[in-house]
Amino acid sequence: MKTIIAEKPSVAREIAGLVGASDKKDGYLTGNGYFVTWAFGHLIGLGMPEEYGISGFDKASLPILPNTFLLTVRKVKKDKGYTADTGALKQLKVIEQLFNRSSSIIVATDAGREGELIFRYIYEYLKCNKPFERLWISSLTEKAIKQGFDNLKDGAAFDGLYQAAQGRSRADWLVGINATQALSIAAGNGIYSLGRVQTPTLALICKRYLENKNFSVTKYWHIQLSHNKELIDFKSISKTKWEDQKLADDTLKAIQRNETATVTSVETKSVTEQPPLLFDLTGLQKEANKKLNLSAEETLNIAQSLYEKKFITYPRTGSKYIPEDVWAEIPNLVRALQDRETYKQAVSKMKWGRFNKRIVNDLRVTDHHGLLITDKIPSALNAKENSIYDMIAFRLLEALSQACIKAITDVGLQALHYDFTAKGCKVLEAGWRSIKGSFSDDDTEPVQDLPELKKGDELKIKEASVLEKKTKPPVLYTEAGLLSAMETAGKEMENEDERKVLQNIGIGTPATRAAIIETLFTRNYIQRDKKSLIPTEKGLQVYELVKERKIADVAMTAEWELALQKIENNEADAEAFQKEMENYASSITNELLQTSIAQNNLPKLVCPKCRSQQLIIRDKIVKCSDEDCNWIQFRNVCAIQIGIADIESLVSKGKTSLIKGMTSKAGKKFDAYIVLNEDYKTSFEFAKNKSYKK
């Protein structure tokens, strides 16, 4: 017998159907010489400090650097502690029994770093020594799975992948555990969670937020002229920008008296816009955030669902290319789209026999190729799934199309002795832009049509006006912008050699970036303001504490991703990386333990109920220090974090200021005051004096 282990029950069922294991048992399927079972994601993880006999946050125990890392069954929170997850224990027992009854194992967990880790940690925890082979597939279609079984690879071929996954897992433990404990001990006021990738990501958001907030906007003025020639209206704008409005107005009057502008130069050049490459996961997440306002995690979950329904290939990919052997399947995918009404028109524009091969590059394919649809075309998807599927399908059609060729014309004009410019654009060959019929990117201003112009032409000025402009602060990060910054963290670096090495290396990986952003929300470090991501009071406080420290260094984190990639490709030593992480964890622990945290920014408030004890102010709650009194107020009310000033106002005056943008259970936004009632419980008071208890 052989045991096949998948990452999830749904994938196990697909595989079981193909290998003929149709007999359902508790926790597995069997038949035709196979047991087919599954994990539920990470069943086994690294043990917490308690497993090493270190309880609580103890300064003397830091830094914690295990000689041997202990593996433990997944834990769930219970009361004040953690206990082993009963579901995980039960499934682990099933897996152990099947491994013992088998001659060998086929690993069918997701084909990537984390999928490898899920299996290897189970294998190691169970002290299993049975031989294993690896099923490596990029889609769950019957054809792909069969091909995968025909080409099973020896498990040892993926040792580099496992060592990189294990290195990432241990590095996150060493940094996360030690840094969190060190800063929390130094603070003496609540838990300050820090992490190897989480903290540099928070630093990116906070730095941008403060640059935006502290930016001083200045005004300046341009002059715009309107012209008409050959029945075509077009505009030109002054090269000069005036910082004094009166000077701009005086110049305008002089130009208006002059009434004409002279063409001083006409330059037309042909611009070739190559089609976009396929989506990798981060590219899809950025596009879905811009167009559909979906979070990175939502997009990943939708893509994962489409993958499990066999409609798209493996989504957790960092590549935008396909290997040569997949190219032969591409025409079938395009043909399959013909039958769906949405794509008929787009497919009719495709040049059969002349598909663009830019996406084919064996050297640029990582664990998995770029995102493709499969030949199984969906008929009934929910709206969000439909939108994500459309993005992937249209991107494939665009990528296979020819380049778009435009003629860009730059015209120089002179009115009085001031220089003006006008820009025009003509599409000569639509190419890939005809697929969706969009000829300019969303973030570029539409370019106007220009008449035939030549040097020396005199143009009448139909109208002239002064335009008031403002300097723009650095834009706050949206999730799409943050994903870009995480993806290209190396670009920010000042050292040119380092920048070259890290130019394509970011922080986190396509598979983990969504979870990192969600962690910052869970920790109450960031919040959404419309589409923008902004830090909370707590997030800014953490940033202020660590911004000069190594743990906030984006470049260093990017270097580690590079090191992990090298370990994966057997080009670097995993033990040397771990040693480096231990040294790093020791140095940041010492750095953070010396951090002085000013407590005086928190007001000293007396409990409104017992009127004798001081209140303990935490980021999630405010409570009386006397357990008998037990007065408590949660700080997150209807999806809004209540600031310190409002807590102070509630306790001393019985009422907060008007809190805007709260969300009711029905999902509706409302504004209200939070008021303290006679029974010391709180309720809402609306501007029209309606109130109801929370």
Torsion of CA 178, 181, 182, 185, to 10 degrees: -170
Taken in order 201, 202, 205, 210, the sign of the CA dihedral is negative
* Residue 544 C-beta-side C-alpha neighbours within 13 Å: 12
Catalytic residue among 125, 314, 389, 477: 314
Pick from 296, 212, 201: nearest CA to 523: 201
CA distance 115 to 126: 17
Q: How far apart are CA 207 and CA 547, in angstroms?
A: 9
| Contact yes or no for 113/368 (Cβ under 8 A) | no
Residue pair 201/520 in contact (Cβ under 8 Å)? The answer is yes
Question: Encoding tokens for residue 606?
Answer: 């007396």
CB-based contact 402:432 (threshold 8 Å): yes
Residue 593: which of 195, 173, 200, 179 has the closest Cα? 179
Q: Which amino acid is at 22?
A: S
Q: What stretch of H or E contains 646?
A: helix 644-653
- Spatial separation of the C-alpha atoms in residues 546 and 180, rounded to whole Å: 12
Length, in residues, of the chain: 694
Cβ atoms of 171 and 574 within 8 Å: the answer is no
Three-state secondary structure call for residue 369: coil
User: Which residues neighbour 339 within 8 Å (Cβ) at sequence distance 6 or greater?
Assistant: 377
HEC assignment per residue over 180-234: HHHHHHHHCCCCCCCCCCHHHHHHHHHHHHHHHHCCCCCEEEEEEEEEEECCEEE
Instruction: Identify the three-state secondary structure at position 672.
Output: strand
The whole-angstrom distance between residue 443's C-alpha and the CA centroid of its chain comes to 20
The amino acid sitting at 71 is L
Both tokens assigned to 145? 């799975």
Half-sphere exposure for 200 (CA within 13 Å, toward CB): 25
State yes or no: is 314 an active-site residue.
Answer: yes
Residue 96's Cβ-count burial label (10 Å; 0-12, 13-18, 19+) is middle
Looking at residue 35, the DSSP 8-state letter turns out to be E
State both tokens at 160.
């580099």
CA-CA distance, 192 to 27, in Å (whole number)? 39
Active site residue ranges: 314
